[in-house]
Structure 1
Amino acid sequence: MNKDPNYGRILANRYQLAELVGEGAMGRVYKAKDTILGGVTVAVKFLSQALLNNNMRDRFEREATISALLGEKSIHVVRVKDYGVDEQNIPFYVMEFLLGEDLDSVLRYQPLSLSRFLTVTRHICLALESAHQGIVFNGELCTIIHRDIKPSNIVIIQDPTLGEIAKILDFGIAKLILADASQTQSFMGTLAYCSPEQMEGKELDHRSDIYSLGIMMYEMLTTDMPILPQNSSFGGWYQAHHDFQPEPFELSLKIPQELQDLVIRCMAKARENRPQNVREILNVIDSLQQKNNSNKINFNSFHSAKFNSDETISNVPFVTLNSEQDRTVEALPSLTEICLQISWPDNKPLQKIVFSNLINTPLGDIPSIFVMLDYQDINKRMSSIRYNQFLYLNNPHPMLLWITLLFHREIGPRWLPCYIDLKSSKGQKLVRTLSDIGSYRILFFAIDRGSQCQNALASKVNAYNCNMLKQWTNTAQLSPSTSNPQSSKEILRRELEKIKPKILLKMETNYTNFAKDMS
């Protein structure tokens, strides 16, 4: 394997570069050591474009300086510690190295609790307010618009003194607007979070960030996007942001009406109809925090929901060598060998079907999904992203829909839905085992290669999902059935068709984020 030529490189006679930790359209990020400060870990971000003339160099130095000043002004902005230009005329920033988790990763598993949402949103708003109010530089007020507010640009860290803190990334490469300067017209941003005026290439003000914040707040509360295009092209998103209204919040989430109204208002198509500054948003957030602390509001109740769901994205092909699933397979080779010795049940037809099963092994009972496909299709599916989601319907008959999706951009999705009767002892045992173990195996059988298992993949179920599965099995055990199981299957089947486009869009976004937005 070729070593990164930057590994061990000394930058500016001070920063020793180590491994590449992120790469995206804006540049590459390296972990590094500050040799002057005794090896303190920092992050070095190289921008993707060389500085071709002195005007560009001056612009970069001004932006870097203002970004550093902003980081000193607000604890909720990632600090820029240094900047410069290397031998190839490539500009770089030196930033604090954060040990934390980006908000995009947090939202893959579940929405934020109300208390956590209010805290994280307040931190984001404080950072944006500091930027929008501006920085005085060389006697001029420089107001800063981020232009790319999205979950992957928010990092959440655990501070030993202050507790959980949210910080915004990439202010250093956002467009800076001088009070007396015209704005460039180039497009920047992520399509799913862009304001209508940003899609049009118009001059922007701070209300564009407020629109993006509204999109992100909706996602933080639901894990869903409030606006979905007919396709993922620029034109599709342009139409969506201009013509489509946000999806209403589900009643089952029990989100305070005041908060719902605020989020919807932030996503107003016309910027004059949005909150006119971040302080308006902070006033509502502060009020809700006071009420939440006194009333202990909990909006994550599932008891009144008609449909209950949860989801997990289990692995991503770009990090296959480090994925938790692959480590699980390597740690349990005997279980993998057991799976490969299993044969297709005699009571199942030899055709392309999928069903759930509980495998009895010397290592214990293992929840599994049996899948029969063409042999060539099986080989292609081994590099797919594994995603699962669960839908539960209590009436007319307690029924669980266990959805597994094998997502591959080049060959398309493969849906593996399994319906489990939670009034049956077999269904109860399977789901309880799944919730206890927190993982399962997908066994692949080739329709043209006999009855023996050809390959097996591991997929995990996160702790939140496991808890919900336990609750649903307990609820189902006590709930009466008022109709036959087929009635609930038909309802869940229709519901699956409704959510498929949303799931695919989420997977496409996830795929793109890992490919391009790791920085």
Structure 2
Amino acid sequence: MNTIMNKSKTEADNYIGKLLSNRYFIKDLLGLGGMGRVYLAEDIAKGGKLVAIKMLRLNLVNEQIAQRFGREIFIGAQLGRKSKNIVRLFSYGVTEEKIPFYVMEYLQGKTLKQILKTQTLSLEKILEISQQLCLGLQCAHKGVSLKGQIYPIVHRDIKPENIFINENSKNSETVKILDFGIAKFLTESSGMTLTESFVGSLPYCSPEHMEGQLHLDVRSDIYSLGLIMFEMITGKHPFHTTSRSFGTWYQLHRFQNPPKFTQVNPQVKVPQKLEELVMWCLAKDVSDRPQSIKAVLEVLKTIDVHPTESSLSSLEAPPTDSISVKLVPITSVTEKECLQQTWPKNKPIAPIVFPYLLPTTQGLIPTFWAMLPRAEIEKLINKTHTTEFISKITAYPMVLWITILYDQESSLSRWLSYYLDIKDEKGEKIVNNLAKLGYYHLLFFPLESPDKCAYVKTLNITVHQRQKLADEINLSHTLSEYISAKQAKDLLKKEYDNVKAKIIKRLSIEQQDDTLGLKPWIAKLFDKLF
């Protein structure tokens, strides 16, 4: 049976088998969280009713964590009584060792994250989960009472792991919102604030949250809601990246527009109104989003669970009344086609790189082909990757395209570079496709067995880079070159050598902080430097 958290491996635990506060008999360890442990217990005063107990970890008792824990108790105790869609907190206290804990309802079922890993959801289920999630958020946004005043609450960490689908005894399911530990009061006068360092989950944060804005409001939660609805519908997060760095996620949330559902999954067939709602929630500017959860609920209530052909956003009719989705990301399709490629016979078997516009079922895709020793490929394939473009377009229409592969642990780096002459039709087409698509495939061919492509990585190009490439193509049509192509290459190489050290320094910092929430000012500093 699945519980509120995945049960960890059996281990020695001093609390199992003990009676807590002369009332709660600790039966088992349900799981470990970032702030503490969660136990299964029996409430003796309630005839052995099962409850869950969250206990703060000894080694995390500090001012900020204690404040988060206290905030979670205070908010959860009030909101859980008001909404069935927020996990209920019954009691709290401290152990004999002065460790704080609280008692909450025992949930049986799975988190939305667990469900999405193994299942596709029908349109009916997606709408049901979305509506219940909205009702829970609406309750939080209406606020809690403190010293006679009402303070709206922003959750700030809405993500699939914090949405629990509770299986009720009556063969029904209830959506429960978990973890108000980093929730924020919409006032600074409440006296309950955190430090302003970034706290949150990068894939599900709003742009303004990542920027460290002090006055986040309910529209930040609405953005996170839009990301979750997108993922439920398509089976995939709207932004494709393997990076866990703050800088990468900030660029995606702030600048990259979410794709259409069918771009991520061609099989998706849902009412156009639902897609419009999700895109509304995902607007970059808070003023362009729904201004309240009520506005989202009003649209959800008008969406037909069993839409007719004319109300679908796809040309093909659904196979059944219950619309199911199957993940087929567009980049996955073209990545498979890349793996079928063979090394050109007119290229030497040597550590070289070259660009190529690859014809695929999705059209022409810019690719970068690299032959390297297999050991290097395997060491670098899952490490830091980044893309840079260097140009001096007013001197000559040429772009130096650089892909950097970097592993700080072994101090190994590979700089794959190629000069794209925009005066040349082939070079201009590649630059134009890079600007239009915003990504490219990096194909790896092992030096020891070069016949077929062994690995493929998809790398994103930032909105700023895309705009710059597009501007340079337009500018190249209006200017006359003042230097030769060879002089242009020498000029770009000199600039390349000048920025190498800065790029390595940046990548080192990003790799160190891959699993941490970097402060927004670091990302802004990088923008100034590069």
Instruction: Bin the TM-score by the shorter chain.
Output: 0.5 to 0.7
1:196 touches 1:269 (CA, 8 Å); kept in 2?
A: yes
Deviation track 1:244-303 (CA, whole Å, cap 9, x = no partner) reads: 111211153112111111111111111111111101110011111xx2258598999987
Structure 1 pair 2–280 and aligned structure 2 pair: CA distance change class (3 A): closer
Q: Could you tell me which amino acid in structure 2 is paired with residue 153 of structure 1?
A: N
TM-aligned CA deviation for residue 227 of structure 1: 1.2
Matched, 1:238 2:253: no
Tell me the distance in 2 between the aligned counterparts of 1:24 and 1:412: 31
Q: Which residue in 1 is equivalent to 2:213? A: 202
Structure-2 separation of matches of 1:106 and 1:3: 30
Task: Answer whether contact 1:145 1:174 (CA < 8 A) is retained.
Answer: yes
Distance change >3 Å, CA 118–CA 58, structure 1 → 2 = closer
Cα pair 1:147 1:174 within 8 Å, conserved = yes
- Contact 1:143-1:179 at 8 Å conserved across structures: no
**Is 1:278 aligned with 2:293?**
yes
- Check the 8 A contact 1:148/1:189 in 2, yes or no: yes
**Shift of residue 62, structure 1, vs aligned partner:** 6.3
- Shift in alpha-carbon separation, 1:497–1:52, aligned structure 2, 3 A: closer
- Asked if the contact 1:51–1:91 (Cα under 8 Å) also holds between the matched residues in 2, the reply is no
SS at 1:107 equivalent:
helix
Alpha-carbon offset, residue 172 of structure 1: 5.2
Partner of 1:81: 90
Give 2:201's match in structure 1, choosing from 173, 190, 213. 190
Mark the CA change 1:214 to 1:59 in structure 2 (over 3 Å): closer, same or farther. closer
1:6 deviation in Å?
A: 2.1
CA contact 1:11–1:86 (8 Å) conserved in 2? yes
Distance 1:302 1:293 in 2: 15
| Structure number, greater radius of gyration | 2
2:156–2:182 Cα contact (<8 Å) kept: no
Contact 1:81 1:94 in 2 (8 A): yes
Correspondence list, 1:478-489, <5 A: none
Q: 1:165 aligns with which of 165, 169, 174?
A: 174
1:154 aligns with 2:176: no
Residue 278 of structure 2 aligns to which amino acid in structure 1? V
SS at match of 1:253: coil
Cα drift, residue 149 of structure 1: 0.6
| Counterpart code for 1:256 | P
User: Partner letter of residue 134 of structure 1?
Assistant: G
The letter for the 2-side match of 1:20 is L
Asked if 1 retains the 8 angstrom alpha-carbon contact of 2:271 and 2:312, the reply is no
Task: List gaps (5 residues or longer) in structure 1.
Answer: 312-392, 394-409, 415-492, 502-511, 513-519
Unaligned runs of 5+ in 2: 1-9, 320-324, 329-360, 362-377, 383-451, 461-514, 516-530
Structure 1 window deviating more from structure 2 (205-214 vs 155-164): it is 155-164
Write out per-residue CA displacement over residues 142-184 of structure 1, whole angstroms, 9 at most, x where no aligned residue.
2111111111111112324472211111125533445734743
* Structure 2 counterpart of 1:221, from 228, 233, 237: 233
CA distance in 2 between partners of 1:90 and 1:302 (Å):
58
Note the alpha carbon deviations across 1:107-136, whole angstroms, 9 max, x for none: 112331110100010000000000001122
Pairing partner for 1:4 from 10, 13, 19: 13
Which residue of structure 1 lines up, in the alignment, with residue 34 of structure 2?
25
Shift in Å, 1:70:
0.6
Deviation for aligned residue 1:61 = 5.1
CA contact (8 A) 2:142 2:152 kept: yes
Cα distance, 1:7 vs structure 2? 1.4
Task: Tell me, yes or no, if structure 1 residue 39 matches structure 2 residue 48.
Answer: yes
Q: How many matched pairs?
A: 323
Q: Do residues 180 (structure 1) and 189 (structure 2) align?
A: yes
Please tell me the residue identity of whatever aligns with 2:294: R
1:50–1:89 CA contact under 8 A, matched in 2: no
Query: Is the CA contact (8 Å cut-off) linking 1:125 and 1:282 kept in structure 2?
Result: yes
Of 129-138 and 82-91, deviating more is: 82-91
The residue that corresponds to 2:283 in the other structure is 268
Provide the C-alpha distance between the structure 1 equivalents of 2:290 and 2:457, rounded to a whole number of angstroms: 33
- AA in 2 matched with 1:186: S
What does the per-residue CA deviation read over 1:24-49, in whole Å, with 9 as the maximum and x for residues that have no partner? 22322111111222221111112347
Partner of 2:261: helix, strand, or coil?
coil
The 10-residue stretch of structure 1 (177-186 or 217-226) with the greater mean CA deviation from structure 2: 177-186
What secondary structure sits across from 1:75 in the alignment? coil
Percent of aligned positions with the same letter in both sequences? 42
Name the CA shift for 1:31/1:277 in 2 (closer, same or farther; >3 Å).
Answer: same
**In structure 2, what is the equivalent of residue 98 of structure 1?**
107
1:257 aligns with 2:272: yes
Kept after mapping to 1: 8 A contact 2:92/2:102:
yes
Over residues 75-124 of structure 1, what are the superposed CA-to-partner deviations in whole Å (9 max), with x where a residue is unaligned? 01110111122334332221100111111111112331110100010000
Q: Deviations over 1:298-341 (max 9, x none)?
A: 99998789xx9569xxxxxxxxxxxxxxxxxxxxxxxxxxxxxx
Paired residues of 1:32 and 1:43 also in contact (CA < 8 A): yes
Checking the alignment, whether the CA contact within 8 Å between 2:31 and 2:39 is kept in structure 1 is yes
Match of 1:279, as an amino acid?
K
How far apart, in 1, do the equivalents of 2:168 and 2:43 lie?
22
Corresponding residue for 1:292? Answer: 305
Change (3 A) 1:498 1:134: same
Distance verdict in 2 for CA 1:232–1:20, change over 3 Å: same
> Equivalent residue of 1:255, what SS?
coil
Distance 2:315 2:101 in 1: 47
Give the distance between the partners of 2:226 and 2:138, measured in 1 at CA: 15
Q: What CA distance in whole angstroms lies between the structure 2 residues aligned with 1:145 and 1:46?
A: 24
Does structure 2 conserve the Cα–Cα contact (< 8 Å) formed by 1:230 and 1:236?
Answer: no
CA distance in 1 between partners of 2:39 and 2:21 (Å): 14
In the superposition, the TM-score normalised over structure 2's length comes to 0.54
Q: Is the 8 A contact 2:72 2:180 kept in 1?
A: no
Q: Is the 8 A contact 2:208 2:220 kept in 1?
A: yes
For 2:199 and 2:27, the matched residues in 1 are separated by: 29
* Deviation at residue 187 of structure 1 after TM alignment: 2.2
3-state secondary structure, aligned to 2:117: coil
3-state DSSP of counterpart to 2:302: helix
* SS of residue paired to 1:31: strand
Q: Within 5 Å, give how 1:432-451 maps onto structure 2.
A: none
Q: Normalising by structure 1, what TM-score?
A: 0.55
CA distance in 1, matches of 2:459, 2:235: 15
1:119 aligns with 2:128: yes
Secondary structure at 1:171's aligned position in 2? coil
CA RMSD of aligned residues (A): 3.8
